[in-house]
Amino acid sequence: MRANVTEYSLVAPPTLHEALRQLASDPELTPIAGGTELMVALSAGRLAQKTLLSLNHLRELRFIDAHDDTIILGAGATFTDIRRHEAIAEDLPLLTQAASWTGSIANQNRGTLGGNIVNASPAADTPPALLAYGATLTLISAAGTRSIPYSMFHLGYKQTALAPGELLYSVSVPRRWPGYRSYIRKVGTRNAQAISKVAIAALARVENSTIRDLRIGTASLRETPTRCGATERALTGQVLTPATLSTLVAAARAALGTEARPIDDIRSTARYRAAVAANLVEEFLGQLAG
Ligand SMILES: Cc1cc2nc3c(=O)[nH]c(=O)nc-3n(C[C@H](O)[C@H](O)[C@H](O)COP(=O)(O)OP(=O)(O)OC[C@H]3O[C@@H](n4cnc5c(N)ncnc54)[C@H](O)[C@@H]3O)c2cc1C
Protein backbone atom coordinates (compact mmCIF):
# COMPACT_ATOMS: atom_id res chain seq x y z
CA MET A 1 0.00 0.00 0.00
CA ARG A 2 1.33 3.48 -0.89
CA ALA A 3 2.17 5.78 2.01
CA ASN A 4 0.17 8.81 3.00
CA VAL A 5 2.94 11.41 3.15
CA THR A 6 0.90 13.72 5.35
CA GLU A 7 1.47 11.21 8.17
CA TYR A 8 5.20 11.98 8.05
CA SER A 9 7.07 15.00 9.31
CA LEU A 10 10.63 16.21 8.85
CA VAL A 11 12.81 18.37 11.04
CA ALA A 12 15.84 20.09 9.55
CA PRO A 13 18.08 21.53 12.27
CA PRO A 14 20.46 24.21 11.00
CA THR A 15 23.62 22.67 12.48
CA LEU A 16 25.04 19.26 13.33
CA HIS A 17 25.18 20.32 16.98
CA GLU A 18 21.45 21.04 16.96
CA ALA A 19 20.71 17.81 15.09
CA LEU A 20 22.56 15.82 17.75
CA ARG A 21 20.73 17.68 20.51
CA GLN A 22 17.36 16.84 18.98
CA LEU A 23 18.38 13.22 18.41
CA ALA A 24 19.46 12.94 22.05
CA SER A 25 16.07 14.15 23.25
CA ASP A 26 14.20 11.90 20.80
CA PRO A 27 16.23 8.83 19.69
CA GLU A 28 13.18 7.71 17.63
CA LEU A 29 13.93 10.46 15.10
CA THR A 30 15.12 8.78 11.90
CA PRO A 31 18.07 10.42 10.15
CA ILE A 32 17.60 10.95 6.43
CA ALA A 33 20.54 11.96 4.23
CA GLY A 34 20.14 11.54 0.46
CA GLY A 35 16.88 9.65 1.02
CA THR A 36 17.56 7.19 -1.81
CA GLU A 37 16.85 4.27 0.55
CA LEU A 38 14.32 5.87 2.87
CA MET A 39 12.14 7.56 0.26
CA VAL A 40 11.73 4.25 -1.57
CA ALA A 41 10.61 2.65 1.69
CA LEU A 42 8.35 5.60 2.49
CA SER A 43 6.75 5.59 -0.92
CA ALA A 44 6.10 1.86 -0.70
CA GLY A 45 4.45 2.26 2.71
CA ARG A 46 7.27 0.36 4.43
CA LEU A 47 8.73 3.16 6.55
CA ALA A 48 7.44 2.66 10.08
CA GLN A 49 9.21 5.71 11.55
CA LYS A 50 7.12 8.81 11.00
CA THR A 51 9.48 11.62 12.03
CA LEU A 52 12.58 12.21 9.95
CA LEU A 53 15.69 14.20 10.89
CA SER A 54 17.24 15.75 7.79
CA LEU A 55 21.01 15.59 7.49
CA ASN A 56 21.08 16.37 3.80
CA HIS A 57 21.72 20.08 4.14
CA LEU A 58 24.39 19.82 6.88
CA ARG A 59 27.66 21.07 5.41
CA GLU A 60 29.53 19.69 8.45
CA LEU A 61 28.90 16.16 7.19
CA ARG A 62 29.76 16.74 3.54
CA PHE A 63 33.52 16.87 3.17
CA ILE A 64 36.50 14.90 1.91
CA ASP A 65 39.82 15.74 3.56
CA ALA A 66 43.02 14.26 2.16
CA HIS A 67 45.76 13.99 4.81
CA ASP A 68 49.24 12.47 4.45
CA ASP A 69 48.27 8.95 5.47
CA THR A 70 44.48 8.93 5.40
CA ILE A 71 41.57 10.31 3.48
CA ILE A 72 38.65 11.22 5.71
CA LEU A 73 35.21 11.30 4.15
CA GLY A 74 32.25 12.91 5.86
CA ALA A 75 29.17 10.70 6.08
CA GLY A 76 27.39 13.22 3.84
CA ALA A 77 29.87 12.85 0.96
CA THR A 78 27.91 11.71 -2.08
CA PHE A 79 28.98 9.04 -4.53
CA THR A 80 29.59 11.82 -7.05
CA ASP A 81 31.84 13.64 -4.57
CA ILE A 82 33.80 10.40 -4.15
CA ARG A 83 33.90 9.52 -7.82
CA ARG A 84 35.29 12.94 -8.74
CA HIS A 85 37.91 13.18 -5.99
CA GLU A 86 41.40 13.02 -7.47
CA ALA A 87 43.25 11.76 -4.38
CA ILE A 88 40.71 8.99 -3.92
CA ALA A 89 41.04 8.00 -7.57
CA GLU A 90 44.81 7.98 -7.20
CA ASP A 91 45.17 6.11 -3.91
CA LEU A 92 41.86 4.34 -3.26
CA PRO A 93 40.73 3.17 -6.69
CA LEU A 94 38.51 0.46 -5.22
CA LEU A 95 36.40 3.17 -3.60
CA THR A 96 36.23 5.26 -6.78
CA GLN A 97 35.10 2.21 -8.73
CA ALA A 98 32.49 1.25 -6.12
CA ALA A 99 31.07 4.80 -6.12
CA SER A 100 31.03 4.82 -9.94
CA TRP A 101 28.82 1.78 -10.30
CA THR A 102 26.34 2.59 -7.54
CA GLY A 103 22.87 3.05 -9.03
CA SER A 104 22.41 5.78 -11.63
CA ILE A 105 23.97 9.24 -11.93
CA ALA A 106 20.92 10.61 -10.08
CA ASN A 107 21.57 8.13 -7.23
CA GLN A 108 25.21 9.10 -7.18
CA ASN A 109 24.38 12.81 -6.97
CA ARG A 110 22.04 12.28 -4.05
CA GLY A 111 23.07 9.09 -2.20
CA THR A 112 25.69 9.36 0.53
CA LEU A 113 28.48 7.19 1.83
CA GLY A 114 26.92 7.38 5.31
CA GLY A 115 23.56 6.17 4.01
CA ASN A 116 25.23 3.31 2.16
CA ILE A 117 27.01 2.17 5.33
CA VAL A 118 24.24 2.70 7.90
CA ASN A 119 21.56 1.20 5.68
CA ALA A 120 23.61 -1.97 6.25
CA SER A 121 22.59 -3.90 3.17
CA PRO A 122 24.84 -6.94 2.67
CA ALA A 123 24.74 -6.11 -1.05
CA ALA A 124 25.84 -2.45 -0.79
CA ASP A 125 28.66 -1.29 -3.05
CA THR A 126 31.12 0.64 -0.87
CA PRO A 127 31.52 -1.84 2.04
CA PRO A 128 33.78 -4.38 0.28
CA ALA A 129 36.24 -1.62 -0.61
CA LEU A 130 36.08 -0.12 2.90
CA LEU A 131 36.73 -3.57 4.40
CA ALA A 132 39.69 -4.21 2.11
CA TYR A 133 41.19 -0.82 2.97
CA GLY A 134 40.62 -1.30 6.73
CA ALA A 135 38.49 1.84 7.17
CA THR A 136 37.64 3.30 10.57
CA LEU A 137 34.32 4.95 11.38
CA THR A 138 33.80 7.92 13.67
CA LEU A 139 30.40 8.00 15.33
CA ILE A 140 29.07 11.15 16.94
CA SER A 141 26.39 11.96 19.50
CA ALA A 142 25.58 14.82 21.84
CA ALA A 143 27.95 13.11 24.31
CA GLY A 144 30.96 13.19 21.96
CA THR A 145 32.67 10.99 19.39
CA ARG A 146 34.06 7.45 19.29
CA SER A 147 35.87 5.51 16.59
CA ILE A 148 35.53 1.86 15.66
CA PRO A 149 36.99 -0.29 12.90
CA TYR A 150 34.48 -0.57 10.09
CA SER A 151 34.88 -4.35 10.30
CA MET A 152 33.13 -4.19 13.72
CA PHE A 153 30.22 -2.01 12.63
CA HIS A 154 27.84 -4.61 11.21
CA LEU A 155 26.53 -6.82 14.01
CA GLY A 156 23.99 -8.85 12.02
CA TYR A 157 21.51 -8.43 9.20
CA LYS A 158 20.63 -4.71 9.22
CA GLN A 159 22.03 -4.42 12.75
CA THR A 160 24.81 -1.94 13.42
CA ALA A 161 26.95 -0.72 16.29
CA LEU A 162 25.25 2.71 16.21
CA ALA A 163 23.85 3.49 19.67
CA PRO A 164 20.60 5.44 20.16
CA GLY A 165 21.30 9.13 19.59
CA GLU A 166 24.38 8.44 17.46
CA LEU A 167 25.10 9.37 13.86
CA LEU A 168 27.86 8.26 11.56
CA TYR A 169 30.13 11.27 11.28
CA SER A 170 33.04 10.21 9.07
CA VAL A 171 34.99 7.40 7.48
CA SER A 172 38.77 7.37 7.67
CA VAL A 173 40.60 5.32 5.04
CA PRO A 174 44.38 4.65 5.02
CA ARG A 175 45.65 5.85 1.64
CA ARG A 176 49.18 4.46 1.34
CA TRP A 177 49.28 1.00 -0.26
CA PRO A 178 52.80 0.69 -1.67
CA GLY A 179 53.34 -2.49 -3.63
CA TYR A 180 49.69 -3.56 -3.46
CA ARG A 181 47.68 -4.69 -6.43
CA SER A 182 43.95 -4.32 -6.37
CA TYR A 183 40.94 -6.10 -7.77
CA ILE A 184 37.24 -5.28 -7.76
CA ARG A 185 34.25 -6.85 -9.46
CA LYS A 186 30.53 -6.51 -9.03
CA VAL A 187 28.36 -9.19 -10.58
CA GLY A 188 24.75 -8.18 -11.10
CA THR A 189 21.94 -8.71 -13.55
CA ARG A 190 23.28 -5.92 -15.73
CA ASN A 191 26.53 -4.00 -15.98
CA ALA A 192 24.88 -0.80 -14.77
CA GLN A 193 22.08 0.07 -12.36
CA ALA A 194 21.98 -3.32 -10.72
CA ILE A 195 22.31 -4.34 -7.09
CA SER A 196 25.10 -6.89 -6.80
CA LYS A 197 24.44 -10.60 -6.69
CA VAL A 198 27.96 -10.85 -5.33
CA ALA A 199 30.90 -8.45 -5.24
CA ILE A 200 34.52 -8.56 -4.19
CA ALA A 201 37.10 -5.85 -3.54
CA ALA A 202 40.60 -7.06 -2.76
CA LEU A 203 44.17 -5.93 -2.24
CA ALA A 204 47.31 -8.03 -2.24
CA ARG A 205 51.00 -7.45 -1.71
CA VAL A 206 53.16 -10.09 -3.35
CA GLU A 207 56.93 -10.03 -2.83
CA ASN A 208 59.30 -12.49 -4.48
CA SER A 209 56.28 -14.54 -5.55
CA THR A 210 55.09 -14.86 -1.94
CA ILE A 211 51.73 -13.44 -0.85
CA ARG A 212 52.68 -11.17 2.06
CA ASP A 213 49.29 -9.56 2.68
CA LEU A 214 45.84 -10.22 1.32
CA ARG A 215 42.63 -8.33 2.11
CA ILE A 216 39.33 -9.48 0.63
CA GLY A 217 36.07 -7.60 1.24
CA THR A 218 32.84 -9.09 -0.07
CA ALA A 219 29.17 -8.22 -0.56
CA SER A 220 26.26 -10.66 -0.51
CA LEU A 221 28.27 -13.59 0.79
CA ARG A 222 26.93 -13.36 4.34
CA GLU A 223 24.22 -11.44 6.21
CA THR A 224 26.61 -8.48 6.50
CA PRO A 225 29.39 -7.16 4.27
CA THR A 226 32.28 -9.43 5.20
CA ARG A 227 36.04 -9.67 5.11
CA CYS A 228 37.13 -13.20 4.21
CA GLY A 229 39.60 -13.93 7.00
CA ALA A 230 39.81 -17.70 6.45
CA THR A 231 40.58 -17.28 2.74
CA GLU A 232 43.14 -14.59 3.50
CA ARG A 233 44.87 -16.81 6.08
CA ALA A 234 44.89 -19.81 3.75
CA LEU A 235 46.75 -17.83 1.09
CA THR A 236 49.01 -15.49 3.03
CA GLY A 237 52.60 -16.70 3.09
CA GLN A 238 52.04 -19.01 0.11
CA VAL A 239 54.20 -18.95 -2.99
CA LEU A 240 52.15 -17.84 -5.99
CA THR A 241 53.53 -18.61 -9.44
CA PRO A 242 51.92 -20.00 -12.57
CA ALA A 243 53.10 -23.42 -11.37
CA THR A 244 51.45 -23.15 -7.91
CA LEU A 245 48.36 -21.29 -9.08
CA SER A 246 46.04 -24.31 -9.28
CA THR A 247 47.04 -25.46 -5.77
CA LEU A 248 46.37 -22.02 -4.34
CA VAL A 249 43.08 -21.73 -6.19
CA ALA A 250 41.99 -25.04 -4.66
CA ALA A 251 43.03 -23.84 -1.19
CA ALA A 252 41.18 -20.55 -1.74
CA ARG A 253 38.03 -22.31 -2.88
CA ALA A 254 38.10 -24.63 0.15
CA ALA A 255 38.67 -21.77 2.60
CA LEU A 256 36.01 -19.57 1.01
CA GLY A 257 33.58 -22.48 1.27
CA THR A 258 34.05 -22.53 5.05
CA GLU A 259 33.19 -18.85 5.52
CA ALA A 260 30.72 -17.95 2.77
CA ARG A 261 27.06 -18.13 3.85
CA PRO A 262 25.19 -16.78 0.84
CA ILE A 263 21.40 -16.93 0.67
CA ASP A 264 18.71 -17.49 -1.96
CA ASP A 265 16.73 -14.31 -2.61
CA ILE A 266 15.03 -12.43 -5.44
CA ARG A 267 18.36 -11.47 -7.00
CA SER A 268 20.15 -14.80 -7.05
CA THR A 269 20.69 -18.20 -5.46
CA ALA A 270 23.12 -19.17 -2.74
CA ARG A 271 24.70 -21.69 -5.10
CA TYR A 272 25.32 -19.13 -7.83
CA ARG A 273 26.72 -16.61 -5.36
CA ALA A 274 29.14 -19.13 -3.85
CA ALA A 275 30.30 -20.31 -7.26
CA VAL A 276 30.81 -16.78 -8.61
CA ALA A 277 32.64 -15.59 -5.50
CA ALA A 278 35.09 -18.48 -5.82
CA ASN A 279 35.55 -17.67 -9.51
CA LEU A 280 36.31 -14.04 -8.68
CA VAL A 281 38.95 -15.01 -6.11
CA GLU A 282 40.43 -17.34 -8.72
CA GLU A 283 40.47 -14.50 -11.24
CA PHE A 284 42.34 -12.24 -8.82
CA LEU A 285 44.88 -14.96 -8.01
CA GLY A 286 45.37 -15.54 -11.73
CA GLN A 287 46.10 -11.84 -12.25
CA LEU A 288 48.57 -11.85 -9.35
CA ALA A 289 50.32 -14.94 -10.65
CA GLY A 290 50.52 -13.45 -14.14
C1 LIG B 1 17.17 3.15 -8.00
C2 LIG B 1 18.16 2.85 -6.90
C3 LIG B 1 19.35 2.20 -7.23
C4 LIG B 1 20.28 1.90 -6.24
N5 LIG B 1 21.45 1.26 -6.59
C6 LIG B 1 22.36 0.98 -5.64
C7 LIG B 1 23.58 0.30 -5.99
O8 LIG B 1 23.84 -0.03 -7.14
N9 LIG B 1 24.45 0.03 -4.99
C10 LIG B 1 24.22 0.38 -3.69
O11 LIG B 1 25.05 0.13 -2.83
N12 LIG B 1 23.07 1.03 -3.34
C13 LIG B 1 22.14 1.32 -4.28
N14 LIG B 1 20.98 1.96 -3.94
C15 LIG B 1 20.74 2.28 -2.54
C16 LIG B 1 21.11 3.70 -2.07
O17 LIG B 1 21.17 4.61 -3.15
C18 LIG B 1 22.44 3.72 -1.32
O19 LIG B 1 22.43 2.80 -0.25
C20 LIG B 1 22.78 5.10 -0.76
O21 LIG B 1 24.12 5.12 -0.34
C22 LIG B 1 21.91 5.51 0.42
O23 LIG B 1 22.36 6.78 0.86
P24 LIG B 1 21.31 7.91 1.24
O25 LIG B 1 22.10 9.08 1.68
O26 LIG B 1 20.36 8.15 0.15
O27 LIG B 1 20.60 7.18 2.49
P28 LIG B 1 19.18 7.50 3.16
O29 LIG B 1 18.08 6.88 2.37
O30 LIG B 1 19.04 8.93 3.50
O31 LIG B 1 19.38 6.67 4.52
C32 LIG B 1 19.67 5.28 4.50
C33 LIG B 1 19.84 4.80 5.95
O34 LIG B 1 21.00 5.37 6.53
C35 LIG B 1 20.67 6.14 7.70
N36 LIG B 1 21.62 7.25 7.71
C37 LIG B 1 21.96 8.02 6.65
N38 LIG B 1 22.97 8.85 6.99
C39 LIG B 1 23.25 8.61 8.29
C40 LIG B 1 24.21 9.12 9.23
N41 LIG B 1 25.12 10.05 8.88
N42 LIG B 1 24.23 8.60 10.49
C43 LIG B 1 23.33 7.66 10.85
N44 LIG B 1 22.41 7.13 10.02
C45 LIG B 1 22.38 7.59 8.75
C46 LIG B 1 19.22 6.47 7.56
O47 LIG B 1 18.58 6.66 8.82
C48 LIG B 1 18.69 5.21 6.86
O49 LIG B 1 18.50 4.19 7.80
C50 LIG B 1 20.02 2.27 -4.90
C51 LIG B 1 18.82 2.94 -4.57
C52 LIG B 1 17.91 3.21 -5.55
C53 LIG B 1 16.64 3.92 -5.18
For 228-271, what is each residue's pLDDT tens digit? 999 999 999 999 999 999 999 999 999 999 999 998 888 999 99
Confidence at 195, pLDDT banded by 50, 70, 90: confident
State how far the Cα of 58 lies from the Cα of 60, in Å rounded to an integer. Answer: 5
With the most atoms of ligand 1 within 8 angstroms of its CB, the residue from 116, 121, 171 to mutate is 116
For 19-61, what is each residue's pLDDT tens digit? 999 999 998 899 999 999 999 999 888 898 889 999 999 999 9
The H or E element spanning position 114 is: helix 113-118
91 alpha carbon – ligand 1 mean position (Å)? 24
Strand partners, 174: 70
Contacts of 243 (CB under 8 A, 6+ apart): none
Return the ligand 1 atom nearest residue 79 CA. Answer: 21
State how far the Cα of 31 lies from the Cα of 86, in Å rounded to an integer. Answer: 29
Confidence at 5, pLDDT banded by 50, 70, 90: confident
Return the ligand 1 atom nearest residue 195 CA. Answer: 8
Helix (H, G, I), strand (E, B) or coil at 14: coil
Residue ranges lining ligand 1, Cβ < 6 Å: 30-38, 40, 55, 75, 102-103, 107, 110-112, 114-116, 118-119, 124-125, 167-168, 195
Determine what percent of the chain is predicted with pLDDT higher than 70. Answer: 100
User: How much is the pTM?
Assistant: 0.97
